[in-house]
């Protein structure tokens, strides 16, 4: 189960990076921002059993999409190995971003010098750039394993699964991961795994 959950989370990140053209979340667009905020809040309050159930459903959607495009067992194993490595890289990077952001917040609260704050900002943006590199490399490796034709078909099948399970509209899709909120916007260490439009089956209930 642990391996399955790691594959889901890392694949979700990879698919989000492909499906969304921008990291920006316009706060004025309530249809975009509010559902994503509600998703995070709902996830944090979900029980471990509920989280495991939702992860399992996402895995089933992914496996279904792979089955439909005729992926061989060898390709499937290669994808699993790739996503396990990707998940470890993303986990380490997420920790790096979180720590850099906390340091920036602390410096601001302590009234640090402009030079110290600039250096902390550079650390945050460097970690974010590393995350984008990880995402893009993973996408390239996925395409290399499946081939351009099967990769495009896989993404198309995944999007069809998303539409089949009832999510409405395009403006409400979550942003591509990569840019955490600025200091003061809250801690994201308990965020759910990204839920890309390609794999989402249902959204956690909002209290």
Cα separation, 95 vs 99, whole angstroms:
6
In a domain, 38, yes or no: yes
In a domain, 105, yes or no: yes
Mean pLDDT computed over every residue of the chain:
69
Long-range CB contact pairs, 101-109, < 8 A, 24+: 101/180, 101/183, 102/187, 104/183, 105/183, 105/184, 108/183
Task: Identify the band that residue 93 occupies on the pLDDT scale cut at 50, 70 and 90.
Answer: very high
Task: Identify the band that residue 178 occupies on the pLDDT scale cut at 50, 70 and 90.
Answer: very low
In a domain, 153, yes or no: yes
Task: Decide if pLDDT at 34 tops 60.
Answer: no
Task: Decide if pLDDT at 134 tops 80.
Answer: yes
- More confident position, 96 or 87: 96
3-state SS, one letter per residue, for the chain = CHHHHHHHHHHHHHHHHHHCCCCCCCCCCHHHHHHHHHHHHHHHHCCHHHHHHHHHHHHHHHHHHHHHCCCCHHHHHHHHHHHHHHHHHHHHHHHHHHHHHHHHHHHHHCCCCHHHHHHHHHHHHHHHHHHHHHHHHHHHHHHHHHHHHHHHHHHHHHHHHHHHCCCCCCCCCCCCCCCCCCCCCCCCCCCCCCCCCCCCCCCCCCC
> pLDDT for 161-170, tens place per residue?
767 765 543 3
In a domain, 87, yes or no: yes
Cα separation, 68 vs 193, whole angstroms:
24
- More confident position, 94 or 179: 94
Task: Decide if pLDDT at 144 tops 60.
Answer: yes
In a domain, 201, yes or no: no
Residue-range definition of the domain harbouring residue 99: 2-20+31-164
In a domain, 199, yes or no: no
In a domain, 187, yes or no: no
Cα separation, 95 vs 89, whole angstroms:
10
Task: Decide if pLDDT at 61 tops 90.
Answer: no
Average pLDDT score over residue span 146-175: 67
Q: How far apart, in Å, are the Cα atoms of 154 and each of 45, 149, 150?
A: 32, 9, 6
HSE toward the beta carbon, residue 45, CA cutoff 13 A = 11
Task: Decide if pLDDT at 127 tops 80.
Answer: yes
Structure tokens at 134: 């990880």
In a domain, 198, yes or no: no
Task: Identify the band that residue 9 occupies on the pLDDT scale cut at 50, 70 and 90.
Answer: low
Count of domains in the chain?
1
Average pLDDT score over residue span 138-151: 91
């Amino acid at each position: 189960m642990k391996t399955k959950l790691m594959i889901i989370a890392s694949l979700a990140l990879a698919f989000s990076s492909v499906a969304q053209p921008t990291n920006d979340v316009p706060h004025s667009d309530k249809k975009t921002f509010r559902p994503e905020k509600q998703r995070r809040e709902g996830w944090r309050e979900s029980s471990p059993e509920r989280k495991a159930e939702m992860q399992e459903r996402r895995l089933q959607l992914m496996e279904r999409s792979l089955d439909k495009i005729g992926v061989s067992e060898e390709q499937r194993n290669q994808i699993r190995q790739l996503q396990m490595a990707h998940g470890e890289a993303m986990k380490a990077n997420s920790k790096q971003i979180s720590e850099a952001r906390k340091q920036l917040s602390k410096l601001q609260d302590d009234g640090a010098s402009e030079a110290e704050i600039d250096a902390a900002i550079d650390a945050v943006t460097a970690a974010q750039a590393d995350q984008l590199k990880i995402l893009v490399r993973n996408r390239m490796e996925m395409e290399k394993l499946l081939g351009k034709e099967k990769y495009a078909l896989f993404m198309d099948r995944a999007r069809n699964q998303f539409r089949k399970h009832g999510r409405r509209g395009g403006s409400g899709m979550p942003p591509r991961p990569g840019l955490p909120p600025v200091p003061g916007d809250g801690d994201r260490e308990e965020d759910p795994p990204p839920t890309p439009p390609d794999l989402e089956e249902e959204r956690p209930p909002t209290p």
